[in-house]
Structure 1
Amino acid sequence: MADESKLQIAIVGAGIAGLGAAIGLKHHPAIDVQVYEKATELREIGASIALGPNGMRTLERLGVDNALDDEIAFRNKSKYPMIYRHWKTNEIISTDSHAGEVEYRHLTARFYRAHLQEALAKHVDPSRIHFSKAFESVTFDRTIRKLVITFADGTTATADIILGADGIHSPVRTFFVPTSSTAWTGWVAFRSVFLYSHVAHIKDLPDEANHFWGPDRTLFISKLGRDLFTVVGSYQADPDAPDAPYKDSTWNSDGDVDTLRDFYKDWSPLVRQIVDAVPSTRIYPNAAAHPLETWVLGSGKVTLAGDAAHAHGGAFAAGGSLALDDAWAFVSSILYVLPENATRKPNDAEILKALRIYEKTRKPHTDRVMSVVHQNNKNKVARYSQARELETDEQLRTRIKNRVDPSWIHEHDVQAAFAQAVADETTDQVSAGEQARL
């Protein structure tokens, strides 16, 4: 039950961003956090997920040390975030490198999504997570001066602030910005997670996370925690073609392993052995939306986090880290206007200030991420719509070597961005005060 004597914060969505924000605020004596999740139980939908150094550092700041444990977090022993191989020869063409000094526990890691969500959930009081609560609408009740959330089951909840962390197709986002719905990019991932024993017999199987690149598709493989292994294949189509395969496919739907094997039938014997060992696969159509004009919604009482805030549709496997940094920045912005020693709840102007600081901390960075991702999506559609033979082997190798360096995403300093946002907000207030006196 929500405590109306405290600042009520309703988090819609119990994914990485939502749980991260709930963890960051749970010890504040004057804040009541409630999480509303549409699923019937806490069950992550997805396969593998990567966290870069920024995401790993944020987990540590939030006190989720159990998620950094080698039991569930797989790190490359070479310390390379990613290794890129040739589709026919298996040779290593290039590697990603960390731009700065990175401690072992903060190295890029791969997780089974359910393991990461489980690690986060251990830090949230189960009584604060309410299931079967699909967001439907929100109104502002002027009598009680509260936001009133209505769920699909007919129940309601009140809040002073709403954080929409309800995924890429976010009902919270589209409720406030109807034009922000997502569109299919034409790319489909075939994701599989299974016991490592299925591939243990394969000679020369890479024991690190590797990305094989071919002329018209890629294949990602990696160990995961608890003796799991992941294989991620891909298919690219023209999203505007009326007969495009998978145009009407749904997230986390059943896939066909024979189709997956057919995609890679001309690849190296090693790749074929790996794909042939995949026992089952699931389909994940990629979607994206354009950046929002603002994250401050609902008359300054509503904001967004994670894929709900930046529906980028695949950002260099950075979605998890972006979500965690969103959570930390949201928490820090709230604590800026409501420190733990505060003697009163923040007023509307202070809440607005917090959400503005949060937006200034995160939106410039995620807008840049989305810009790069959208351009990459356009390039993929243009390239894959042409015949494979148009790209020579030399051109492929050059494309691998000249790919975008993702270190600016994976090693983004959210703490520095927050400090700058606070400074900018202070400067803006001073400037506004000076203008008012003129």
Structure 2
Amino acid sequence: MVLTVAIIGGGIAGLSAAIALRQLPGVDVQVYERAKEFKELGALIGLAPNGLRTLEKLGVEDVLTDEVGWRSPNGVPMCFKHFKTGDVLSVDYNHNVPDRRHQFARMHRASLQKALLKTLPSNILHTGNKVSKVTANDDGATVQFEDGSSVTADLVVGADGIKSKVRESFIKNHKLSSSGDAIFRTTFPYDLVADLPGLEQNSTHYQSPTAWFFGTRLGSDQFGVTCSFHVDENDSSSKFADTTWNAPATVDDIRNVFKDFYSPIPSIIDRIPEGTLRRYTNVAGEALAQWTFGNRVALVGDAAHTHGGAYAAGASLAVDDSYVLYLSLRTILRGEGQSQESLSATRIGEALSLYEATRRPHLERVLKEVHSGRKGQAARVEKIREDGVPESDSSFRKRLASRGDPVWLNEHDAEGQFHKVFNSSASSKAGETKARPKL
């Protein structure tokens, strides 16, 4: 083996990284998941054209089918409508997505996980491994687990989510902050709502000044709901002013908030099976100064960029992270020729530098947009509190109409960006060599 890799986390990021890195010759990949088994958990998830194209390159083609992913019949990625009137306030469009299979798809997270697991051998998946600490030096990176066991590899990939233990081992004070929104999610059989008059078949957000509701088909036979409303975190009496993640919720927790929303939203809520609804706090963190450590450790997915699920982009971003990490290591391995010796820490570090230089600027833009939006929301909430007057309907409509076009995110070409970074780096090195005086 020329490289051993330990991936921490068996979610979308970790499994995508495993699929990608296993395509490298002479590379041994092992995945360590904290859960005791890979259960079919989670709610609805979205994959944008960038993520779908990358998964196709990785051979995960099940996600391109209509059985797994629901695509709007009108070909529009997302439409935003007025919560009371149903008026169209804003629309996202495809710009360069000629293949329908690459159009924004909504699916159950378990379906995506199943498609990823299908392409991996079971003997590389290790469950019940809770990480306590990761250390790195010139000889390798060691992962210590809570049960006292450990594993050492040439490269450790931290794919362990927003509360990453891998990240915590190198960055001690990465603060996560709440947006002040309570988010609720559920999935259930489509048959439960199929008879409702006016049920949207196209992806549509119904938006109010302080809340939104999104209901969508998931693949061929499921339906998913995600909805959110603002919570005053300064009100200790508020039922949802905490920072709980994945807490059980009841339908009554959301029924009153959305009772005046456009039909058939109240009826959809009435059809949600009790016991299926979960509540989340929307948290995000500032951009990290670095994603890679000691030439031995790299972060991918939410561990690298805690963006709070904005734009329904988390899965696609994680997949692209994993693919660029693969491209970076492949480039270095090719530079080694036919050598069967293990990659040195220096060479691994070169690959990690390529990966970080490609991905981090793009995600810094994502996080900048997220935090800018949060500041705007906080300012509106504070003004309403001071004036005692809610946002006017005309102001609300104007604000939604001025939304930016997310094409820069949904159709981002991660591989193209990698080649730009690599070619620029190669040109710089060639220029430096040429400029050196002869001795």
Scaled by the length of structure 1, the TM-score of the pair is: 0.93
In structure 1, the partner of 2:303 is: 308
In structure 2, the partner of 1:112 is: 108
CA distance in 2, matches of 1:380, 1:96: 21
Shift of the alpha carbon at 1:433? 4.8
Equivalent residue of 1:119, what SS? helix
CA distance in 1, matches of 2:430, 2:304: 29
Shift of the alpha carbon at 1:33? 0.4
In structure 2, the partner of 1:370 is: 367
Shift of the alpha carbon at 1:434? 6.4
Say whether 1:56 aligns with 2:52. yes
CA distance in 1, matches of 2:148, 2:208: 50
CA distance in 2, matches of 1:36, 1:240: 39
Say whether 1:236 aligns with 2:236. no
Preserved CA contact (<8 Å) 1:184 1:239:
no
In structure 2, the partner of 1:267 is: 261
In structure 2, the partner of 1:29 is: 25
In structure 2, the partner of 1:326 is: 321
Give CA deviations for 1:133-161 in whole Å, capped at 9, x if unaligned.
Answer: 1111123466xx22221111211111001
Say whether 1:162 aligns with 2:159. no
In structure 2, the partner of 1:418 is: 418
Residue 380 (structure 1) aligned to one of 377, 380, 383:
377
Q: Where do 1:79-98 residues align within 5 Å?
A: 79-98=75-94
Say whether 1:153 aligns with 2:147. yes
Give CA deviations for 1:336-362 in whole Å, capped at 9, x if unaligned.
Answer: 111396323322221111000000110
In structure 2, the partner of 1:187 is: 181
In structure 1, the partner of 2:165 is: 171
Equivalent residue of 1:246, what SS? coil
In structure 1, the partner of 2:398 is: 398
CA distance in 2, matches of 1:245, 1:210: 28
Equivalent residue of 1:10, what SS? strand
Shift of the alpha carbon at 1:42? 1.3
Equivalent residue of 1:191, what SS? strand
Give CA deviations for 1:251-308 in whole Å, capped at 9, x if unaligned.
Answer: 22101210110111222342211222222311011111111111121x1211100011
In structure 1, the partner of 2:74 is: 78
Name whichever of 177-186 and 75-84 sits farther off: 177-186
CA distance in 1, matches of 2:218, 2:112: 11
CA distance in 1, matches of 2:436, 2:6: 35
CA distance in 2, matches of 1:75, 1:105: 8
Preserved CA contact (<8 Å) 2:160 2:166:
yes
Task: State the percentage of identical aligned residues.
Answer: 38
Say whether 1:134 aligns with 2:130. yes
Equivalent residue of 1:137, what SS? strand
Cα 1:134–1:434 change in 2 (3 A) is: farther
Preserved CA contact (<8 Å) 1:163 1:303:
yes
Equivalent residue of 2:312, what SS? coil
In structure 1, the partner of 2:272 is: 278
Say whether 1:345 aligns with 2:330. no
Cα 1:238–1:89 change in 2 (3 A) is: same
CA distance in 1, matches of 2:281, 2:112: 22
Give CA deviations for 1:87-129 in whole Å, capped at 9, x if unaligned.
Answer: 1112333321012243111000001001101101111111101
Say whether 1:123 aligns with 2:111. no
Equivalent residue of 1:252, what SS? strand
Give CA deviations for 1:226-272 in whole Å, capped at 9, x if unaligned.
Answer: 41111111122244665554233432210121011011122234221
Equivalent residue of 1:390, what SS? coil
Preserved CA contact (<8 Å) 2:193 2:268:
yes
Equivalent residue of 1:114, what SS? helix
Say whether 1:317 aligns with 2:332. no
Cα 1:209–1:19 change in 2 (3 A) is: same
RMSD between superposed Cα atoms in Å: 2.0
5+ unaligned residues in a row in structure 1: which ranges?
Answer: none
Say whether 1:69 aligns with 2:65. yes
Equivalent residue of 1:74, what SS? coil
Preserved CA contact (<8 Å) 1:36 1:131:
yes
Cα 1:268–1:138 change in 2 (3 A) is: closer
Preserved CA contact (<8 Å) 2:140 2:296:
no
Preserved CA contact (<8 Å) 1:254 1:282:
yes
Aligned length: 431
> What letter matches 1:415 in structure 2?
E
Give CA deviations for 1:186-207 in whole Å, capped at 9, x if unaligned.
Answer: 1221111111122122111111
CA distance in 2, matches of 1:435, 1:44: 57
Preserved CA contact (<8 Å) 2:198 2:263:
no
Give CA deviations for 1:327-380 in whole Å, capped at 9, x if unaligned.
Answer: 100111111111396323322221111000000110000000000011112222
Shift of the alpha carbon at 1:435? 7.6
Cα 1:24–1:164 change in 2 (3 A) is: same
Preserved CA contact (<8 Å) 1:10 1:163:
yes
Cα 1:88–1:345 change in 2 (3 A) is: same
Preserved CA contact (<8 Å) 2:136 2:297:
no
Cα 1:374–1:238 change in 2 (3 A) is: farther
Name whichever of 242-251 and 229-238 sits farther off: 242-251
CA distance in 2, matches of 1:136, 1:6: 27
Scaled by the length of structure 2, the TM-score of the pair is: 0.93
Give CA deviations for 1:140-184 in whole Å, capped at 9, x if unaligned.
Answer: 466xx2222111121111100111010011111111101114222
Cα 1:150–1:212 change in 2 (3 A) is: same
In structure 2, the partner of 1:361 is: 358
Name whichever of 357-366 and 242-251 sits farther off: 242-251
CA distance in 2, matches of 1:199, 1:378: 37
Preserved CA contact (<8 Å) 1:45 1:252:
no
